[in-house]
Amino acid sequence: MSLSAVLAAATLVTFWQAGGMKPASDPRQNAGRWLAQNATPDQTLVAYEVGSAAYLSGLTTIDVLGLTDPRAIPHLEEEDFGWAIGLEPDYVLVPEQSGWPVIEDIYAEPDFPEEYGVVARFAFREGQDYLLYRRAPASDER
């Protein structure tokens, strides 16, 4: 590592320790912790960033992009990014706004606005908080 890189890193650490930079809270980790406390082990979570939310929650997680869920592959080939909503997951974790087709397709799924409601919000960036949606119980379960 060069001397300039070491000095730059030391400057950033000093600046951070002095309160000039606060580490951002990770909304996916916060969602995972929330789910660990509020969901039951038999419930499912849909996300496109499955890592920490899946690990910390302990829930069965459906990976929209197929990195850990091969069921996604035929849907992705058809550019159907909202496919996992059809599996009726208990929870869905997505940013509140995005121009990314994956997020837009989840929100555009016909049953999504009727069957899911926000149960928690996790701060990220202004206008881009992560929202955790929960599927409403079926009418015969109410």
Domains of the chain: 25-141 (3.40.190)
pLDDT value at residue 88: 95
What is the phi/psi pair of residue 117, to 5°? -135, 150
Residues 6+ apart with CB under 8 A from 110: none
| DSSP code for 136 | P
pLDDT value at residue 62: 93
pLDDT value at residue 10: 39
Compute mean pLDDT per 10 residues along the chain, 142 residues long, and list them.
Answer: 39 43 74 96 91 91 90 94 95 88 92 95 87 84 46
pLDDT value at residue 89: 96
Which whole-number Å values give the CA distances from 19 to 12, 13, 14, 22, 23, in the listed order? 11, 10, 9, 6, 10
pLDDT value at residue 50: 80
pLDDT value at residue 112: 94
Least Cα distance to 102 among 133, 130, 68, 64 occurs for: 64
| pTM of the predicted protein model | 0.78
> What's the rounded Cα separation, in Å, for the pair 36 and 62?
16
pLDDT value at residue 139: 59
> What's the rounded Cα separation, in Å, for the pair 94 and 107?
9
